[in-house]
Structure 1
Amino acid sequence: MSRLPFYFLIGILLVAGIAMTIHRHVQFDVPWTPDETRQVWEVEAQVSFDADDGPAVVNMALPSNQQGYRVLTENTASSGYGLSFLEENNGRRAEWSVREASDTQRLYYSVQLLEAPDSRSSEATAPELPENIVWERPFDTAAEEIIDRAYQRSADPYTFTRELIREFTGDRQGENARLLLNEFDRGPLLVRLLNEAGVHARTVSGLLLEDGRRRQKLTTWLQVFDDDQWALFNPRTGEQGWPKNLLLWETSGEAVLEVEGGTNSDINFSMIRQNQPAAAAVRNQLSTDTLLNFSIHSLPLEEQALFQTILLIPIGALVVVFLRVLVGIKTSGTFMPVLIALAFIQTSLLTGLIGFLLVVAVGLVIRNYLSYLNLLLVARVSAVIITVIAIISVFSVLSYRFGLNAGLTITFFPMIILAWTIERMSILWEEEGPKEVLIQGGGSLVTAILAYLAMNNPWVRHITFNFLGVQLILMALILLLGNYTGYRLLELRRFKPVTED
């Protein structure tokens, strides 16, 4: 029979698992190792205004994912106000509303931003050029001369923007530039001149992030478009490019803050930078499940903690398959060592080993007595289960009385599995002798210890919990091992006489 479909299935599982894992690391910045940290900025915006003793509506622009930064969490403090987050063509905005407001009002908005060098801004659409730009005299002549001078020294929209800004800075600032600056604000003036020259541009508002700063204001920047591309310019210096510490707060050219029912509105910002574990910093991004971002982070924390342990079982299964198929270690029960390894994770290795050996040893003695009663299998196993529970209870009470609190964790052992282990070992002792019991019991303990070491590794726990694609990779590896039909390593000793001859 052709094995091609089997290997094709293995290939699909490997490719799908690797693709999902890489996608989560690249797209959502999920770290490969558990000890990585990320820089997180917490920015607080304080809005204040004098209310008119009536209804009030406050509309404020909000930041979104952009080059270098990714939004993690948002919080507001606005007692008595209704709050809505609006998704509009001109970006994200928050809208507070109240039926009656008086005196000075203060609203707070805070956002956590992850420093993500690979993050990119969403595609921006170039603003439409105004149909008619009308200048009053003598501003029309001054604007025309400045545009002509900058146009002669440029070759494209970007170089034209740089030359135009230079007309308003330094030694090149002439009478025409001073005349226009006395009448118009620098940002809107530059946009108006660029639009008259046929260049798509608008002003955007940005916040320069500095650790520990308070009462900071937004600064104005120029966004200039050339076909489908755009660039950012400093309207005061003409420098092109996106500064490393610049956070664009409003990117559509609209007002950052609009207040209805109040006067003297103002907004200022405070910020602080801190280190956070990378897994915690990106956790909220993982709570939205999609086909390629399927995760358990959307579950409640209690269920997440449960799955963090459950997802380790395939690692233990891989260890068991490897040791039994390739090495040839015999165990008492197929996957009993995995369950014992899970108990070791809860109890610690040394405490778990001592507890396991004590329970099994005492259980074998009592099971040996039960064998003389000639009970039916179901009744005998039930009696062993009750016996195991009693043994664990006695050991727990004794360890507590002697001040050995670690002994209390023995209750994490799977009691049904222990009962069946005692039953199998007792039958094996009767049929094969104590040597076979030691071989299978020792093999089970060795396998359980190795599975524990693999499952309790912090890197393994992190990878299995945060990258579910790894489960497909483990499935592929187990299927490949299951296809092995050669000699086991421990069986090679049978051929030692041949090599000696």
Structure 2
Amino acid sequence: MRSLNLHLKVLIAVLVTLGILITAYQIFIVGIPVTEDETDDLWNIDAKVEFQANPKSPVKLQMFVPPLSQDYVSLNESFVSKNYGVSINRVDGNRKVTWSARRASGNQVLYYRLVLTKRYSGEQPKPKGPIFRDTIPVEGPEKIAAEALLAPIRQHSADVETFISETIKRVNNLGDDNVKLLLAGDASTVNKAKTIELLLSIAHVPMERVHSLRLIADQPQNPELWLRSFDGENWLYFNPETGEQGLPSDRLVWWIGDQPLVSVDGGKKAQVSFNLNNSEINAIHLAKLTDESTDADFLEYSLYGLPLQTQQTFQIMIMIPIGVLVILILRNLIGLQTLGTFTPVLIALAFRETGLQWGIILFTVITALGLSLRSYLEHLKLQMLPRLSVVLTFVVVAIAAISLLSHKLGFESGLSIALFPMVILTMSIERLSITWEERGAAHAMKAAIGTLFAASLAHLLMKVPELVYFIFTFPAVLMVLVGFMLAMGRYRGYRLTELFRFKAFLKD
């Protein structure tokens, strides 16, 4: 007996632990939203490219577009142009679109549109990057100035991260004579980045220029220059003006390197303007879109991977254990009397179509009529099978009559009575009649009222949209429910109603 108890406890612990761990993995690792009302941002980025085409000459315009291999995923990407061919190539870790035309003249306008969102799932590939670089050749006064700046930088740094931060801090000290010499009167961000790269190269620290776009709606945006370096495990990002470390979450990396955003052959005065706006989309719908747009398949093996019609069926089926749990608590802990164990759950399912008020009325009317017929048949001394057949036929006729009458009176809800489980109604009438005969009318009425109460409570709980979404999205929660049901199977204590019945014994 002791080993059996231990076995049961281990089984319950395993089920509850698995259910909690799987659900926690879906929420915290995969990132599936906990509520259906949760929304995420959807960004629409329009890049407008304008240039003057040289008359009677081929035109070839190239522009970098986001690699989308980090924190964002593309849901839609389109290229709008007239009489231009479009191709995309990968160059040194970047993506570059090429528009080409045999002939063009005058002002030309091309559009690039991108719809993206935060990457929803899928493990990110392990970052790779150089950890060593050759020194940029420098001679004369520039070399002396660079070495003079590097001496205190080495002294005040402990690793790659602090070395780069200290270098940026020194280069932005425009009052330093060595800095003035290296900048040569040009204090632009691009020239500062060039000077920072020179100093880092002397220390053999690799550095790349990163051009990012800030995701902020309805404001003109231009690519922002950042610097990054690989420390052997991760990319470290730095603002060349402030030394701020870490790329903000609202930045989208557009391209990497020294080359300009756009270049044109057969034209001139190429310029790009950006327009951004965002909207909100249902989080689980967005997760499904993301799943279709990437290699991640975290929803493919969930219930969302089923056909839509099948999903609707499973949304009803998967809530049945919740109704069963309600009946279990009402019967085993509270002591409520019902007609059978799972009859209230099936009646609760029928209430989904009729509505709670109409369902109670129709159930009461049909059961009362059926009970009267069952009492009459008892006087005829029929066997059980013929008697049940007559009652079932009567239930069908009663359902048809009530449906027709409600339609004539304009109560369309009455038509849903046809979805009531006829066999369940028949067996309920039979069991209620037997209970009446064996234990009296009061006990039978108590069981009937208890059945309706349990069915109503189960129906209300099984219909809560937030609960339906949570159980359907995280079905592993049912393992926790099974663990609770197993624990309830060993409960031998008093029910709540029995505490009131035997209250007199406590006086002694």
Compute the TM-score of the two structures, normalised by the length of structure 1. Answer: 0.80
**Residue 23 of structure 1 aligns to which amino acid in structure 2?**
Y
1:207 aligns with 2:213: yes
The 3-state SS of whatever aligns with 2:471 is helix
Task: Name the CA distance, whole Å, in 2 between partners of 1:450 and 1:350.
Answer: 12
The 3-state SS of whatever aligns with 1:231 is strand
Change (3 A) 1:143 1:368: farther
Q: Determine which of 360, 364, 369 is the counterpart of 2:367.
A: 360
Contact kept? 2:135, 2:203, Cα under 8 Å: no
Contact kept? 1:169, 1:237, Cα under 8 Å: no
Contact kept? 1:65, 1:120, Cα under 8 Å: no
Q: Determine which of 433, 443, 446 is the counterpart of 2:450.
A: 443
1:385-464 equivalent positions in 2, closer than 5 A: 385-464=392-471
1:14-93 equivalent positions in 2, closer than 5 A: 14-33=16-35, 35=37, 37-46=38-47, 48=49, 60-66=65-71, 71=73, 74-78=75-79, 90=93
Change (3 A) 1:379 1:53: farther
1:225 aligns with 2:225: no
1:91-170 equivalent positions in 2, closer than 5 A: 105-113=110-118, 123-131=126-134, 133-134=136-137, 141-142=141-142, 145-153=145-153, 154-156=156-158, 157-165=160-168, 166-167=170-171, 170=174
Task: Name the CA distance, whole Å, in 2 between partners of 1:330 and 1:127.
Answer: 73
Task: Name the CA distance, whole Å, in 2 between partners of 1:74 and 1:171.
Answer: 48
Contact kept? 2:209, 2:257, Cα under 8 Å: yes
Task: Name the CA distance, whole Å, in 2 between partners of 1:459 and 1:285.
Answer: 23
Match of 2:244 in 1: 239
Task: Name the CA distance, whole Å, in 1 between partners of 2:18 and 2:86.
Answer: 42
1:9 aligns with 2:11: yes
Displacement of 1:342 in angstroms is 2.3
Match of 1:475 in 2: 482
Unaligned runs of 5+ in 1: none
Change (3 A) 1:443 1:224: same
Change (3 A) 1:113 1:21: same
Residue range with higher mean Cα deviation, 339-348 or 160-169:
160-169
Displacement of 1:476 in angstroms is 0.2
Residue range with higher mean Cα deviation, 490-499 or 14-23:
490-499
Task: Name the CA distance, whole Å, in 1 between partners of 2:475 and 2:446.
Answer: 36
The 3-state SS of whatever aligns with 1:9 is helix
Change (3 A) 1:478 1:193: same
Task: Name the CA distance, whole Å, in 1 between partners of 2:426 and 2:316.
Answer: 23
Contact kept? 2:336, 2:497, Cα under 8 Å: yes
Change (3 A) 1:346 1:261: farther
1:174 aligns with 2:180: yes
Task: Name the CA distance, whole Å, in 2 between partners of 1:180 and 1:362.
Answer: 97
Displacement of 1:325 in angstroms is 1.9
Task: Name the CA distance, whole Å, in 2 between partners of 1:240 and 1:34.
Answer: 36
Task: Name the CA distance, whole Å, in 2 between partners of 1:438 and 1:444.
Answer: 10
Displacement of 1:131 in angstroms is 4.2
Change (3 A) 1:95 1:176: closer
Displacement of 1:473 in angstroms is 0.4
1:310 aligns with 2:311: no
Unaligned runs of 5+ in 2: none
Displacement of 1:230 in angstroms is 4.2
Change (3 A) 1:86 1:286: same
Displacement of 1:490 in angstroms is 2.8
**Residue 231 of structure 1 aligns to which amino acid in structure 2?**
L
1:342 aligns with 2:345: no
Root-mean-square deviation over aligned CA pairs: 4.3
Task: Name the CA distance, whole Å, in 1 between partners of 2:88 and 2:499.
Answer: 69
Task: Name the CA distance, whole Å, in 2 between partners of 1:170 and 1:355.
Answer: 86
CA displacement 1:319-365 (0-9 Å, x = unmatched)? 11122222222221221111222232343322221122122223333
Contact kept? 1:323, 1:329, Cα under 8 Å: yes
Change (3 A) 1:337 1:429: same
Displacement of 1:425 in angstroms is 2.3
Task: Name the CA distance, whole Å, in 1 between partners of 2:244 and 2:311.
Answer: 48
The 3-state SS of whatever aligns with 1:43 is strand
